[in-house]
Chains A and B, each alone.
Chain A
Amino acid sequence: MHEMGPFSGDGERSSLARALGMAFAVALVGGSLVSVTAVLLEPRQEANRLAERRAVIDAIVSQLPGVERLLDPESGDRIETRLVDLATGRYVSDATDPAAYDALEAAQDSESRVEIPPALDVARIGARAPFATVHLVRRGRSVELVILPVFGSGYVSTLRGFLALEGDMNTITALAFYAHGETPGLGARLQDPAWLAKWRGKRLRDEEGRYRLAVTRGAADAAAAHAVDGISGATRTSQGVSRLLEYWLGDHGFGPFLQRLREERGR
């Protein structure tokens, strides 16, 4: 009942060329099928990703105390979406729709992307887009909440999320990640609400204005203003989170923008 193929022995026809040819043919067909599937399904997956990002932003905004009064439940219009020129910290006010700006593509396009000097590239991302889409919630004229897109390298993947800061541009309202590929059960706990909740209320800078926010190894004092306890068993992921925040909150990231908002508030 067992049939044997013609190549089951060491016959001369099972030559190296045949073996290579067959392996190549199967790889080619398999690769093509996978590519076609990926390309065909890309629009749907992209729509899913957008919906997810939106849900993360909505979840962050809903954590802001008293936000119900600020937001019109009908339209949700009071969340302002603006495009920021990271180098100057000013809004980009040309025709580009801020919500449609694709920072991912702009970071890959050799025309537009901004290379990050290796010494400053603590988040290990290589290059970034010149602009970034930020979301703002205002109470009257003053900015009450700003939501910044952040990303950087974790242990085995790129971590993408949002950081929300209070109006003083120094206190964290929320941190959330919507995409990563870290180890399930270990690094993947960076999406754990209990860990993310530890970021709330932490301050970026001390009284002298030095950047102090960091993830610590071992238990951080819950009351510590600038330290967050790392995820146990996922030191590299925790460090990744710490470093990507350091980059995006620094002078090469949103530093100039945050500085401008702070000055505006002081006036």
Chain B
Amino acid sequence: MDRSNRHALLDPLIDNNPITLQILGLCSALAVTTTLATALTMSLALTTVLTFSSGIISALRRHIPRSVRLIVQITVISSLVVMVDEILQAYAVEMSKRLSVFVSLIVTNCIVLGRTEGFAMQHDVKRSMLDGLGNGLGYSLVLILVGIVRELLGSGTLLGVSVFPLAADGGWFQPLALMLMPPSAFLLIGLLIWALRTWKRAQIEPSELPESALVLSETEAVGDGLARSVR
């Protein structure tokens, strides 16, 4: 793997993480991280959609007229999302219920459209797919970390297996109800960003957020009552 391909894959993990640096995809990160299992499934779904939509868009990029490029991208993304959703409903029905609308909402996830429009439209198929995979894994990394902390402190379990015996069942652990509510994901992601920027000072932004980043993270909240109630 040459240097630029490796960069496309590894850069979004920590140095250019879509959640902690670009602050995108927060809505699903809040909603599906109450348990590790939902976080893992959502990570897998988003990474699959992102990798393949990047590849398909990149393969089509010379044939997509500029005037309709966003429509074409959204069509490709939503076709993939519906397929993933159908597969979940057929093979993981319980999980599909717990994730409810958040799998369908991958269509509106800014990370996906951001990578297809911002990267796959200008790069070859291989590098675009690596970029999609890298960004999917970067998103997954944050979701899994938050999912582990929330499930462990909120329910005393990991993947449903008891780790801290609950006080209610004769153990010593008193679960933190806050961890089961969306605001705790805000706190955890905030702490994560703080830790990351203390370690990698280059990630600290200039005092004012560029307007474009604000607009992008705003659009994600559309249609999602949860994000609204949190704010």
**Chain A interface (Cβ within 8 Å of chain B)?**
2-9, 14, 18-20, 22-23, 26-27, 29-31, 33-34, 37-38, 41, 44-45, 48, 52, 183-186, 188
Contact = CB atoms under 8 A, between A and B. Distances in A.
Given A3-B124, A184-B31, 5 more contacts: A14-B66, A19-B68, A34-B86, A48-B89, A188-B100
Contact of B100 (A3, A27, A184): A184
Question: Which of under 10, 10 to 19, 20 to 34, or 35 or more describes the interface residues of B?
Answer: 20 to 34
Contacts of A20: 68
30 contacts: A2-B122, A4-B122, A5-B121, A7-B64, A7-B66, A8-B66, A9-B66, A14-B65, A14-B67, A19-B65, A19-B67, A20-B68, A23-B71, A27-B75, A30-B75, A30-B76, A30-B79, A31-B79, A33-B79, A33-B83, A34-B86, A38-B82, A41-B86, A41-B89, A41-B90, A45-B89, A48-B89, A48-B90, A183-B225, A184-B101
Contacts of A30: 75-76, 78-79
Interface string B56-77: 0000111111111001100110
Contacts, number: 84
A14 B68 CA distance: 10
Contacts of B72: 22-23, 26
Interface in B47-62: 60-62
- The A interface is mostly helix, strand or loop, or mixed, namely helix
B63 to A, nearest CB: 6
B76 A26 contact: yes
A5 B89 contact: no
B204 interface: no
A23 B75 contact: yes
A26 B60 contact: yes
Contacts of B62: 5-7
Nearest to A39: B86
| Residue of B60, B61, B64, B225 with most partner-chain A CB within 10 A | B64
Nearest to B100: A184
Interface of B: 31, 60-68, 71-72, 75-76, 78-79, 82-83, 86-87, 89-91, 93, 100-101, 121-124, 225-226, 229
Contacts of A48: 89-90, 93
A185 B226 contact: yes
A4 B123 CA distance: 9
Nearest to A43: B90
A188 B225 CA distance: 12
